[in-house]
Amino acid sequence: MMDFMGDRIKKRRESLNIQAAELAKTIGVSASLISQIERAKAYPSILTLKKIADALHITVGELIGEQSSLNSNPVVKHNQKKFVKKNKAGTRSYLLSRHDQSKLMDPFLLKFKENGDSTDIMTTRNPGQEYLYVLEGKFDVIVGSSSYTIKAGDSFYFTSDENHLFTNTNKGTSQLLWIVNQNN
């Protein structure tokens, strides 16, 4: 990640038509240091990096490539999904995307055993939204005081601030695609 930081600084500086010497003067360092940083021959202190970001009207996160893993490596292969949690009913959750602080949502695959439910898996009760798509099986759903039955091919969209429970009523396993926004 650090090897590309210099490239990001240089591209941003050039896009703003700022010379290296001008940037150096603005933040109180030598033009030689700016050149070394841009060529990955030196790495700035946190304070210097913050000064560079401010002078270039950009965030430190953007300079260090905070979004680079999401943008440069968006594919998660089937065998790369990450196991997250298993509850007492045997329901398992798997994260289907890479970790990245800039994500706005998290997609999960939920695998339910026969009669399994979402207790301790879908635990969010914050302002936010959730979306589910039934990949396989059949579910009884309770959201607040309302009940629903959904099956393969159905989708379900609700706000997270109400109690909710999904129970597999299929003979055998069932699966859901669950997408939660990051406000949760």
Domain that holds residue 130: 78-181
Pairs from 87-95 (Cβ < 8 Å, separation ≥ 24): 87/116, 87/117, 87/118, 87/119, 87/120, 87/121, 88/119, 88/120, 89/113, 89/115, 89/116, 89/117, 89/119, 90/116, 91/116, 91/117, 91/118, 91/119, 91/121, 91/168, 93/121, 93/178
Based on the fold, state whether residues 90 and 156 are members of the same structural domain: yes
Rounded Cα–Cα distance for residues 108 and 99 (Å)? 12
Cβ within 8 Å of residue 109, ≥6 positions away:
81, 93, 94, 96, 135, 175, 176, 177, 178
pLDDT above 60 (res 2): no
Rounded Cα–Cα distance for residues 91 and 42 (Å)? 49
Based on the fold, state whether residues 92 and 160 are members of the same structural domain: yes
Residue 158 sits in a domain of what CATH number?
Answer: 2.60.120.10
Give the pLDDT score at 162.
Answer: 84
pLDDT digits 0-9 by tens, 151-170:
999 999 998 888 899 999 99
Based on the fold, state whether residues 97 and 137 are members of the same structural domain: yes
pLDDT above 70 (res 184): no
Asked if residue 165 is part of any domain, the answer here is: yes
Give the pLDDT score at 72.
Answer: 64
Joined tokens for residue 18: 């700022």
Tell me, yes or no, if the pTM score tops 0.85.
Answer: no
Kindly report the average pLDDT of the chain as a whole number. 86
Give the pLDDT score at 66.
Answer: 65
Based on the fold, state whether residues 21 and 97 are members of the same structural domain: no
Rounded Cα–Cα distance for residues 101 and 149 (Å)? 35
Asked if residue 142 is part of any domain, the answer here is: yes
Give the pLDDT score at 125.
Answer: 61
pLDDT digits 0-9 by tens, 26-73:
999 999 999 999 998 988 988 999 999 999 888 888 788 766 555 566
Give the pLDDT score at 182.
Answer: 61
Last residue of a domain, one of 42, 66, 90: 66
Least Cα distance to 167 among 145, 146, 144, 137 occurs for: 137
Report how many domains make up the chain. Answer: 2
Based on the fold, state whether residues 154 and 104 are members of the same structural domain: yes
Based on the fold, state whether residues 127 and 171 are members of the same structural domain: yes
Give the pLDDT score at 90.
Answer: 95
Based on the fold, state whether residues 55 and 86 are members of the same structural domain: no
In contact, 179 and 104? CB cutoff 8 Å? no
Asked if residue 122 is part of any domain, the answer here is: yes
Mean pLDDT of 78-100: 86
Q: How far is CA 154 from CA 95, 136, 149, 175, in A?
A: 21, 10, 10, 12
Based on the fold, state whether residues 163 and 99 are members of the same structural domain: yes
Per-residue confidence band for 4, with pLDDT thresholds at 50, 70 and 90 = confident
Based on the fold, state whether residues 59 and 119 are members of the same structural domain: no
Give the pLDDT score at 124.
Answer: 61
Give the pLDDT score at 35.
Answer: 93
Based on the fold, state whether residues 36 and 97 are members of the same structural domain: no
Last residue of a domain, one of 46, 66, 86: 66
Burial class (CB in 10 A: 0-12, 13-18, 19+), 168: buried
